[in-house]
Amino acid sequence: MNELEIRKFAKNLDIDLIGFFSTDSLVECLPHLEKRVSQGFFTGFEGGTPEERIDYHRDFPSAKSGIVIGINYYQEVKKPVDDKSRGALAAVAWGKDYHLVLREKMLLLMAKINYELTRQGKQTVIYKSYVDNSPLVDRGSAYRAGLGFFGKNNCLINETLGSYFFIGQILLDYEIDFEPVKPIPDGCGDCHRCLDACPQGALGQGFSLEPSRCTAYLTQKKELTDEEESRVNNSLYGCDLCQQVCPYNRDLERTKEKDFWIEPETAYPEIKEIVNLSNKGFQRKFGKTSAGWRGKKVLVRNAKLFEKNQK
């Protein structure tokens, strides 16, 4: 099967970006991964050593090629103007958990591919799909497949979708017929808006991220030092500051994925409501979002820090 056929299937499934990659080790990312380890800039969420992270065959020894998808999650949601004290959930946590949304897209895509192969009297393909749930470097695979370039804010940036897209990858026991692309070189030039916008300077000189200064990380970290507590800002979960100022994120189209659509009152919840969340209330409000994975305790802690940091 060739890439054109697969691209058509993807379009019918409202998959915004798709690319293909060889499963040779992701050596182009190795120096960057090693540098992060030597600087102590890892979060514990990544899993695996740099060598393990670039090896597609570690988890799937018979992998012969890969597909990577990108799903737009951009929408403009303004903070409600009222007399309530409200915190912010980053867009990563708006609507249904993206892990579930992307896994379903990949499942449907693979079902279509296998249906088509069966129709042609060919053998079906064995595969494994991943979204943020393995040591594999999702941005690295998407970069190799030409979905975007690495920005100074660390995000993978696409010329059309900016950086507000999630990444999912599929390893297949099958050789897809595709034309390898040349990865896109730097697109940031002299721009340093994201470096200036980060209140704690977590991005340094760019293409790097110091977790203990990154609000997105701190809102997910279980134990915080006093200094880290003061850096949580008004975020209840995640942080979008370094994306919001990026020129590639201007005038973007709203995501077609209705499961991500959200009301302003939900995107910017009342702090009082979070502080007083019951277990049931937490499950109802956050159980199906990506902000649910660290549990109620962390979210309530962030709401309390919001109150403390306001004083």
- Rule CB under 6 A: is residue 299 a binding residue for ligand B12? no
Q: Which of 59, 67, 53, 60 is nearest to 25 (CA)?
A: 53
Among positions 132, 173, 210, 259, the unique one binding ligand B12 when judged by CB under 6 A: 132
Please select the residue that binds ligand B12; options are 17, 18, 170, 209, rule is CB under 6 A: 209
Nearest CB to ligand B12, comparing residues 32 and 192? 32
Rounded Cα gap, residues 33 and 306, in angstroms: 33
Quick note: the x/- pattern for ligand B12 over 146-175, rule CB under 6 A, is: ----x--xxxx------x-xxx--------
Q: For the segment 72-91, give every residue that binds ligand B12 (CB under 6 A).
A: 90
Residue among 9, 20, 127, 217 that touches ligand B12 (CB under 6 A): 217
> In the bound complex, what is the minimum distance in angstroms from residue 310's beta carbon to ligand B12?
21
22 versus 114: smaller Cβ distance to ligand B12: 22
Q: What is the rounded CA–CA span in Å between residue 102 and residue 122?
A: 27
CB of 297 to ligand B12, least distance (A): 17
What is the crossing angle of helices 296-310 and 279-286, to 10°?
A: 90
Does residue 188 touch ligand B12 according to CB under 6 A? no
Instruction: Please count the other Cβ atoms lying within 10 Å of the Cβ belonging to residue 66.
Output: 24
CB atoms within 10 A of CB 205: 9
294 binds ligand B12 (CB under 6 A): no
List the catalytic residues: 132
Nearest to ligand B12 of 162, 274 (CB atom): 162
Say how many C-beta atoms besides its own lie within 10 A of residue 208's C-beta.
Answer: 15
The answer to the question of residue 240 lying near ligand B12 (CB under 6 A) is yes
Among 143, 178, 268, 286, binds ligand B12 (CB under 6 A): 143
- In angstroms, the CA 74 to CA 257 distance is 10
Q: In the complex, which residues of this chain contact ligand B12 (CB under 6 A)? A: 28-29, 32-33, 36, 43, 45-46, 90, 92, 131-132, 136-140, 143, 150, 153-156, 163, 165-167, 207, 209, 211, 214, 216-217, 220, 238-240, 242
